[in-house]
Amino acid sequence: MGKKYKIIQFLGGLDQGGAESVIRDYALELSKRGHQVEIPLFYTTPNLPNQMALEKAEIRIDVFRGLYSCRILKRAYNKILTVTYYDERKIRKLIQEFKPDVIHIHGYVLRCFKHLDRELDGIKLFYTCHNPPKEFFAGKWKHQFGIAKRLINEHDMQLIALHSNMAQELNKLFGINNTVVLNNPLPLDKYRSTNLNKEEIREKNGIKSDAFVIGNVGRFNSQKNHEFLIDIFYEVSKRKQNTILLLVAASGGDKLSASINKLKRLNLLNRTKILLDQSNVSELYRAMDVFVFPSLYEGFGIALLEAQAAGLKCVISDTIPQETIVTDKVFVCSLKRTASDWAKVILDDHIAYEKKTQSLETFDVKNVVDKLIELYTS
């Protein structure tokens, strides 16, 4: 059976995002295999599907700052208090009491390790970058570059990239040559099987069975490019009268109000379904006819993987990493092309799709966690 490890998976929160889904799937699969997983969070909000799934599996979650009933308060609190003495004391206490073999850091929480040193002796450190490295380490979170550099030099922290181009960027940025590529995990069975058929899922969510449904899954922020997505929807709806836009997201994104206002101006709000904080996202893909993903950039784009696992035709921007193309039903469209151009592609049943770069099976959570454990134990 091998040694069972004590592992801390460290991320700020468990909202409905790609990185958060990765943490959830890592933790659930590691726990199934008998490893002990702890997930510290800066914040939580009520009824988060990811957190409820972990609690159901009896995976311990340690919330440092408390419960927020309102996401606006959460964002304001985290903006004012980046990492406090209280946070660092909580982390030190967690490490002392839990005595982890592995600490796996994700995203922006590198900042929590600025003053930690001796506490990390004898612990294997890993860091997964979930965003394009140049944008992340040179942008809003640039102060974390020095922290990462110190942890690499003084504690042999292993960097993990989501695809080969990201690995090359990280190697160049940090002057190293050992960044490891590890696919994001996906519980394929969940996306391939459902107790409900397409019509039943649509009826359950108030969508007509004969509607043509354009779908998107992603936070309401600038990166996801909802403004352009709505323009595309407008162009498609002019050509196909029964078109519906289905938007699935975490609540509280800073572009949610702007998107709703634009839909109102174009008289499209009554033809749009906005579903927030859903626990059945894998089911909702099956209500769609086409998945449209015009993001300005993506570290990886796990929603695209999910859409392909559900068997959907996907029309995506040319900023999405090529490694995410794992079926023969993906078309890449330049963001320089007009919304009208995108609409034509969406409605064209005879377009030449991209060639897939790898098998969808390589992303199955069981295969990915096999490789993750190899990293932890090497």
| Residue range 252-305, pLDDT digits in tens | 678 899 999 999 999 999 999 999 988 888 899 999 999 999 999 998 888 999
- Mean pLDDT, to the nearest integer, of 226-237? 98
Residue 373: count of CB within 10 angstroms of its CB = 18
State the Cα angle at 63 between 67 and 25, rounded to 5°: 110
3-state SS track over the chain: CCCCCEEEEECCCCCCCHHHHHHHHHHHHHHHCCCEEEEEECCECCCCHHHHHHHHCCCEEEECCCECCCHHHHHHHHHHCCCCHHHHHHHHHHHHHHCCCEEEEEHHHHHHHCCCCHHHCCCEEEEECCCCHHHHHHCCCCCHHHHHHHHHHHHCCEEEECCHHHHHHHHHHHCCCCCEECCCCECHHHHHCCCCCHHHHHHHCCCCCCCEEEEEECCCCHHHCHHHHHHHHHHHHHHCCCEEEEEEECCCCCCHHHHHHHHHHCCCHHHEEEEECCCCHHHHHHHCCEEEECCCCCCCCHHHHHHHHCCCEEEEECCCCHHHCCCCCEEEECCCCCHHHHHHHHHCCCCCCCCCCCCHHHHEHHHHHHHHHHHHHC
Is the pLDDT score of 65 beyond 70?
A: no
pLDDT of res. 11: 85
Q: Shortest CA distance to 153 belongs to which of 107, 187, 120?
A: 120
Is the pLDDT score of 193 beyond 60?
A: yes
Lowest mean per-residue pLDDT among 78-87, 100-109, 286-295, 329-338: 78-87
Query: pTM for this one?
Result: 0.85
Indicate the average pLDDT of the chain.
Answer: 89
pLDDT of res. 69: 41
- Mean pLDDT, to the nearest integer, of 237-243? 96
Q: Are 133 and 169 within 8 A, CB to CB? A: yes
Domain topology for 6-182:
Rossmann fold (3.40.50)
User: Which two tokens mark 12?
Assistant: 């700020």
- φ, ψ at 227 (rounded to 5°): -55, -45
Residue 363: count of CB within 10 angstroms of its CB = 23
Residues of the chain with CATH 3.40.50.2000: 6-182, 188-361
User: Which two tokens mark 305?
Assistant: 């993987």
pLDDT of res. 168: 96
Q: Are 335 and 319 within 8 A, CB to CB? A: yes
Q: Which residue has the tokens 């990915």?
A: 368
Confidence of residue 197 (pLDDT cuts 50, 70, 90): confident
| Percent of residues, the chain, with pLDDT higher than 90 | 65
pLDDT of res. 20: 87
| Residue range 165-179, pLDDT digits in tens | 999 999 999 999 999
Residue 237: count of CB within 10 angstroms of its CB = 20
Task: Report the distance separating Cα 132 and Cα 153, nearest Å.
Answer: 22
- φ, ψ at 146 (rounded to 5°): -65, -35
Please report, as a single letter, which amino acid is at residue 215: G
Task: Report the distance separating Cα 36 and Cα 57, nearest Å.
Answer: 12
Is 188-361 CATH 3.40.50.2000?
A: yes
pLDDT of res. 47: 72
Is the pLDDT score of 32 beyond 90?
A: yes
Q: Are 260 and 237 within 8 A, CB to CB? A: no
State the Cα angle at 214 between 198 and 359, rounded to 5°: 75
- φ, ψ at 36 (rounded to 5°): -95, 120
- Mean pLDDT, to the nearest integer, of 142-149? 90
Q: Are 50 and 24 within 8 A, CB to CB? A: yes
Q: Does residue 71 or residue 23 have the better pLDDT? A: 23
Q: How far is CA 299 from CA 17, 287, 304, 338, in A?
A: 12, 26, 12, 24
Confidence of residue 142 (pLDDT cuts 50, 70, 90): confident
Task: Using DSSP bridges, classify how beta strands 290-293 and 313-317 pair: parallel, antiparallel or unpaired.
Answer: parallel
Q: What sign results for the dihedral spanned by CA atoms 46, 286, 345, 242?
A: negative
Strand partners for 38: 8, 60
Q: Are 157 and 188 within 8 A, CB to CB? A: no
Q: Are 218 and 303 within 8 A, CB to CB? A: yes
